[in-house]
Amino acid sequence: MSVGDVIALNKPVGEGLKIKVGNKVKFIGSPGSVKDRLAVQVNEIVSEGAEEDYDE
């Protein structure tokens, strides 16, 4: 990757992204930026035991 590259996501704008820790979905978030850096905002914490509901 280099500065200015675009990362295409297979999700509609406004639909949360699954954020995994290891192989389990732990958070739902939104992509964005802070200053000049890429970032993810955590919108939801997936409760323990509910990870299977978010797996593909």
What integer pLDDT is reported at residue 56 of this predicted model? 59
Q: How many independent structural domains does the chain possess?
A: 1
CATH number where 1 lies = 2.30.330.10
Query: Which pTM value belongs to this model?
Result: 0.67
Range of the domain at 29: 1-56
What integer pLDDT is reported at residue 43 of this predicted model? 93
For residue range 3-56, what is the model confidence (pLDDT) as tens digits?
777 777 777 777 888 888 888 889 999 888 889 888 889 999 998 776 666 665
- What helix, strand, coil percent values describe the chain, rounded to 5? 5, 45, 50
Binned at pLDDT 50, 70 and 90, residue 2 comes out as: confident
